[in-house]
Amino acid sequence: MKSIAALQAAVTAVPLDGEPSDAELDAIEQEMPLILAEVDLLDAQIMTLDRPAGELDERRIRRARNRVMAARRDLTNRLGTGEAA
Q: What pLDDT is stored for residue 84 in this prediction? A: 53
Q: CA-CA distances (angstroms) from residue 63 to 34, 56, 81, 85?
A: 14, 11, 27, 30
pLDDT at residue 5 above 90? no
Give the pLDDT confidence of 9-64 residue by residue, as tens digits. Answer: 555 556 667 888 999 999 999 999 999 999 999 999 999 999 988 999 999 999 99
Per the document, the length of the chain is: 85
- The whole model's pTM is what? 0.70
Q: What pLDDT is stored for residue 2 in this prediction? A: 65
DSSP letter (8 states) at residue 12: T
Give the pLDDT confidence of 67-81 residue by residue, as tens digits. Answer: 999 999 999 999 887
